[in-house]
Amino acid sequence: MVRTRYAPSPSGTLHIGGARTALFSFLYARHFDGRFVLRVEDTDQTRQVDGSERAMMRGLASLGIVWDEGPDVGGDFGPYRQSERLAEHREVADRLLADGHAYRCYCTPEELERERAARRAQGLPPRYSGRCRRLNPADWAERQDKAFVVRLKVSASGSTVVDDLIRGPVSFDNQVLDDFVLMKPDYTPVYNFAVVVDDHGMGITHVIRGEEHLSNTPKQILVYEALDWPVPQFAHVPMILAPDRSKLSKRHGATSVEEYLDQGILPEALRNYLLLLGWSSPAGNEIIGLDEAIRLFDLDRVQHTAAIYDTKKLEWMTQQYLKTLPLSRVVEAVKPFAERLGINWGLGPPLDVAVALVRERAYTLRQVAEGIRFLYQPPASYDGQGVRKHFTAPEAPGRLRDLATHLDVLEEWSHDALAALYDQLALAWGVKRAELIHPTRLAVSGKTVGPGLFELVQTVGRDETAKRLRHAAALIESGSVPES
Ligand code: GLU
């Protein structure tokens, strides 16, 4: 059975690179009816951030990534927190020491630095000399109180090949690997050792992770071989780069799932977008929901080259989902954003009516909330460009007042009746209909763009519309239109 895992270190929030890796691992497991495991790699205590394990889990869950086994849900292959497996890491290290695949190294940091400097002086790359290899258990016993690390014996000749499912075989010269450290002086494991013991212990068949780990993989393979354990399959997914091809960082904007969701990106859209960062559908389609993603996903369509991150595309994706998701889902998602704007949706048109009116034009949930705000609150300010264009003519305030008077007595408060009235007034006043529509929109919503005007005023209501037209007229006359 396919078993994949996502193994974050709890050192912050869920970065989009991590989320994409988790998504690929999850989809791969689901596609093959396998299991997806969440393991928290919390051995490096210095890098830990409080609450970050929870934040990671929240981030994954918000994207619909569900783990079958993990620190919170348990499972048959636990523990799922790396730190809780320390006894096993130590036991395996002891075993490697006992059977001669590993040895204790007593070299001090100063000695190692001298060695490195000597090699540098000769133009050679750093490489541990293997000086402590010659010590045997009797020598170790003599050095009882001395600090040591455990190193793996790596043959200096030959090479180690990573048969990567995405890139094909990648060969590493053993010369560059040297006798690397497995256990630190406090007898806790380094990442490259712990990860092997954990992946083996959890029966992981496919290790899917970021490309930055590719250079770690030959070391891990050597550990598997020393232990005579089956080597899992590896797949290294490409980096995500900023549009200028530099490493994606804070200066390019949001980088964590939490931040995106906070900006009003729909989680469904973010998941779909992440799916396309490095993978493409065999059918060439881009809007792919979770079930379809599970059905289609395989590693053979993951590209080798870096994926370029593009905010515009993410917003476009959000718009597609805003348009097509069930209205009730969008309404639920908008609520926190509406709340933040102080919108009291109990007083005004039903929220679903409001959301339906604007959702097709918005790129984020935040924009939906901003777009419906005027349905619940009169505009506090008016678009500056709009004011210059539509409120400055000498006849502007008078027209707004006249429009209000006509609206007060319009027989039927319907789209057609409103359209007929505007046609009739435009004709009578000798202006284009647009010359009445734009000032009305600005007076009622404070904006120059938005849903169709007649739908808009219909939703705002007759009295409120008339009131806002008169209020705008008064502001124009007193020369005090607040602009935004
Ligand atoms: N804890 C490692 C990281 O966050 C996991 C690497 C791996 O998947 O093996 O990068």
Domain positions in the chain = 1-69+238-310+317-325, 85-237, 329-478
pLDDT tens across 180-232, in order?
999 999 999 999 999 999 999 999 999 999 999 999 999 999 999 999 999 99
pLDDT tens across 9-59, in order?
988 889 999 999 999 999 999 999 999 999 999 887 666 677 889 999 999
**Per-residue confidence (pLDDT) for residue 463, from 0 to 100:** 95
Whether 440 is in the pocket of ligand 1, judged by its Cβ within 6 Å, is no
DSSP secondary structure letter of residue 282: T
Mean pLDDT of 407-431: 96
Q: How many angstroms does the Cα of residue 20 sit away from the middle of ligand 1? A: 13
**Per-residue confidence (pLDDT) for residue 247, from 0 to 100:** 85
Residue 241 φ/ψ region, left for φ over 0, alpha for ψ in the -120 to 50 degree band, beta for the rest: beta
pLDDT category of residue 291 using cuts at 50, 70 and 90: very high
Q: Where are the alpha helices (DSSP H) in 299-378?
A: 311-324, 327-340, 351-358, 365-376
Site to probe by mutation for ligand 1, drawn from 39, 83, 195 as the one with most ligand atoms within 8 Å of Cβ, is 195
Architecture of domain 85-237: 3-Layer(aba) Sandwich (3.40)
**Per-residue confidence (pLDDT) for residue 404, from 0 to 100:** 98
Give nearest CA residue, ligand 1 atom 3: 8
Record the tokens describing residue 117, joined without a space.
């400097």
**Per-residue confidence (pLDDT) for residue 248, from 0 to 100:** 82
Q: What is the 3-state secondary structure (H, E, C) of 227-266?
A: HCCCCCEEEEECCEECCCCCECCHHHCCCEHHHHHHCCCC
Mean pLDDT of 349-375: 95
**Per-residue confidence (pLDDT) for residue 225, from 0 to 100:** 97
What atom of ligand 1 comes closest to residue 5's alpha carbon?
8
DSSP secondary structure letter of residue 483: B
Q: How many angstroms does the Cα of residue 459 sit away from the middle of ligand 1? A: 52
Site to probe by mutation for ligand 1, drawn from 81, 191, 216 as the one with most ligand atoms within 8 Å of Cβ, is 191
Q: What is the pTM of this model?
A: 0.92
Record the tokens describing residue 143, joined without a space.
């050095």
CATH code at 1-69+238-310+317-325:
3.40.50.620
Q: Which of 129, 135, 74, 78 is nearest to 106 (CA)?
A: 135
**Per-residue confidence (pLDDT) for residue 48, from 0 to 100:** 66
Mean pLDDT of 240-251: 86
CATH fold for the domain made of 329-478:
Arc Repressor Mutant, subunit A (1.10.10)
Choose, from 153, 184, 250, 447, the residue flagged as catalytic. 250
250 is known as an active-site residue: yes
Q: Is 70 exceeded by the pLDDT of residue 455?
A: yes
Q: Tell me what the pLDDT averaged over the chain comes to.
A: 95
Mean pLDDT of 246-254: 82
pLDDT category of residue 323 using cuts at 50, 70 and 90: very high
**CB burial of residue 69 (10 Å; 0-12, 13-18, 19+):** buried
Whether 232 is in the pocket of ligand 1, judged by its Cβ within 6 Å, is no
pLDDT category of residue 306 using cuts at 50, 70 and 90: very high
Mean pLDDT of 124-137: 92
**CB burial of residue 326 (10 Å; 0-12, 13-18, 19+):** exposed
Q: Is 70 exceeded by the pLDDT of residue 439?
A: yes
> How far is residue 163's CA from residue 154's CA, in Å, rounded to a whole number?
19
> How far is residue 270's CA from residue 286's CA, in Å, rounded to a whole number?
12
